[in-house]
Amino acid sequence: MVPPAAVVALAALLAAAPALSAEPGTVEFLAERLATVRLPPDAYRMEELGESNETLPADLVLATKGGVLEPSCRHLCLSRPDCLGTAYRPSDQQCLLSVRRPAPGRLEPAAEPWVLAARRGLAFLDEPCQRTTDCSLVVPGSFCSAGLCACLEAFNRTEAGGCRPLGELVPADGVRPADDALIREEAAAELADCSAACQGDALCLAVEFSAVSSTCRLYSAGITDDLGADPSGEWRTLVRRLPTATGPPPADFVQLGGQWWFSKHAAVQYRQATRDCASLGGILYHGREDGTRAALAAAQMLDERIFLGLDDTGIEGEFVYSDGEPLDNLTTWHSGEPNNFRGSEDCSELRTSGLLNDIGCGTNRPYVCMWQPGILRSAARGRPVWASWGTTTAARAVDGDMDTWSGPTLPDEVDSLEEQRQHLTVDLGATHQVTAVLLVTGAGRSAADTTIYLSSSRERHDAAAAAVCRRLPGQYMRHRMARLYRCRHPVQGRYLHLVTDRLRVSWTEVAVIGAQLDGDQALQPEQM
């Protein structure tokens, strides 16, 4: 019999599965799970563990069979999806099938030697693995780390040996989870009851709630497309915002106010300051009145005029912070400012008085970088990865792939808008939940109408295949500048697509803030 194709995504594994009642990480959960999903090809092979003076205790024995040869013993195990190992005694041809991998610490002494074997492709936490699906098929929310199964960083290990997602449920207006990620549907009188059901379910990453029918739907995946919510407005969608990876800040950052990390640098021009901060895994200090100013003042970082991460370089008069948010009403300008003196003041500074002033971006000013915990290393790091209109060839690609190439500067005159469009695809190496994207553009002209997508498809970014992180109307992406853009709600996918009109750039750097959901290659929190 040819084994079925491997199942590599949690949502796909659960697509046709009924609600599971057992606690993830337990033998009972695995038995329920394996009754409804297809095993990967590797799970039809056994790994020899050698001879041992220990054997299976009674509570791990799934079945026994006497008078069989050792290959037949292993075949018996492979014929049962709930069998994870064998113990075979050659002296009397006794075969024991095990519900767990035969491993030191869970065996008991034996008077005679036993030959042990373990099933490949299925592993609990702390057990050997070769790929993430070995772990995630048995324990959702786990991955293969240094050859052993472990919980992903955004998941907490449970007493039963499962992995439970962390984080809070936040609104996701205008979108909904994919139908094939539905775990179950149940009655709920209030939205709070539906939220509590999700928080108590180790597989739940999103919910839909209808007050009209008092119905709650739990989903094993977040927002993966942009098809939109129920047009009637009956259903509300909440998605679990997972905690982002942290990691240590760069060595020259200091902690101030108990929660913020800063470093001060010598005077440069504005665009250079934004790029320098991005290279350290941070953004130019935005200057909002959120408690950070007092901490900076106490550390004598505001004893001279400094650049702020606040500019209207995209659209005149529409100031945007370095974290992609629009200017709020709490910002206090110096009298008569901003005045865009002589039409050339698109950036801003913080004076020692605590008031703001708009200045030219070519002015040199000291600056303060604000570390952003959770920025994950870019898969595009240090490589030109822009793809563009129809003259692409694989020979031009830096990695031999037509989707990641750096073409020549486009001509100023083209026949259609489609020919002006550029498309960047970055493989994050695994499925991630993304909450923000840090972009550092290279040399080139500004853009209009830029959209950031997350998709499970390398080729597609249409509404049925990709979720919109953020739409950037106007000329938000600027020549040689860095800015952080927060997604309108957490989105999920492996491939980041950046599609923009009328942009001429030679390269870009991309990093994401988010949490890994599967995959063997984790993006590490570090500088870009």
Per-residue pLDDT, averaged over 206-228, amounts to 94
Query: 206 pairs with which residues across the strands?
Result: 219, 239
Distance between CA 453 and CA 468 in Å, rounded? Answer: 5
**pLDDT above 90 (res 517):** no
Name the CATH topology of 254-371: Mannose-Binding Protein A; Chain A (3.10.100)
Among 46-55, 250-259, 333-342, 429-438, the range with the most confident prediction by mean pLDDT is 46-55
Confirm if 18 and 144 have CB atoms less than 8 A apart.
Answer: no
Which segment of 415-419, 449-453, 509-513 scores lowest on mean pLDDT? 415-419
**What value does the mean pLDDT of the chain take?**
81
Nearest alpha carbon to residue 307 among 327, 287, 323, 332: 287
**In terms of pTM, does the model score above 0.85?**
no
pLDDT value at residue 387: 41
Confirm if 505 and 386 have CB atoms less than 8 A apart.
Answer: yes
Nearest alpha carbon to residue 244 among 467, 457, 520, 524: 524
Amino acid identity for residue 77 in this structure = C
pLDDT value at residue 442: 67
pLDDT bracket for residue 421 (50, 70, 90): low
- Count the helix, strand and coil residues of the chain and give each as a percent rounded to the nearest 5: 15, 35, 50
**pLDDT above 50 (res 242):** yes
Distance between CA 291 and CA 262 in Å, rounded? Answer: 13
Give every CB contact of residue 309 below 8 A, 6+ residues apart in sequence. Answer: 274, 277, 283, 284, 285, 286, 287, 321, 322, 323, 370
Q: Under the phi-then-psi rule, with left for phi > 0, alpha for psi from -120 to 50, and beta for the rest, what region is 44?
A: alpha
Name the CATH topology of 375-516: Jelly Rolls (2.60.120)
Nearest alpha carbon to residue 220 among 275, 155, 317: 155
Every domain of the chain and the residues it spans: 167-241, 254-371, 375-516
CA 189 centroid distance within chain: 32
For the residues of 272-320, what is the DSSP string, one character each? HHHHHHHHTTEEE----SSSHHHHHHHTTSSSS-EEESEE-SSSTT--E
pLDDT value at residue 521: 55
Per-residue pLDDT, averaged over 34-61, amounts to 89
pLDDT value at residue 153: 86
pLDDT above 70 covers a percentage of the chain that reads 81
Phi, psi of 293, deg, nearest 5: -65, -40
396-408 tens-digit pLDDT: 333 444 444 333 3
pLDDT bracket for residue 196 (50, 70, 90): very high
Name the CATH topology of 167-241: Hepatocyte Growth Factor (3.50.4)
**pLDDT above 50 (res 411):** no
pLDDT value at residue 514: 87
**pLDDT above 70 (res 512):** yes
Nearest alpha carbon to residue 28 among 160, 141, 158, 142: 160
Distance between CA 391 and CA 409 in Å, rounded? Answer: 12
pLDDT value at residue 477: 63
Three-state DSSP state, 20: coil
pLDDT value at residue 184: 92
**pLDDT above 80 (res 523):** no
pLDDT value at residue 448: 61
**pLDDT above 70 (res 32):** yes
71-128 tens-digit pLDDT: 999 999 999 888 999 999 999 999 999 999 998 889 999 999 999 999 999 999 999 9
Phi, psi of 346, deg, nearest 5: -110, -5
273-327 tens-digit pLDDT: 998 998 888 899 998 877 788 889 888 999 999 999 999 887 788 888 998 888 8
Distance between CA 426 and CA 351 in Å, rounded? Answer: 40
pLDDT value at residue 404: 42
- Which helix H or strand E contains 138, and what residues bound it? none
Higher pLDDT, 418 or 41: 41
Please provide the distance, in angstroms rounded to a whole number, between the alpha carbons at the two ends of the chain: 48
CA 274 centroid distance within chain: 24
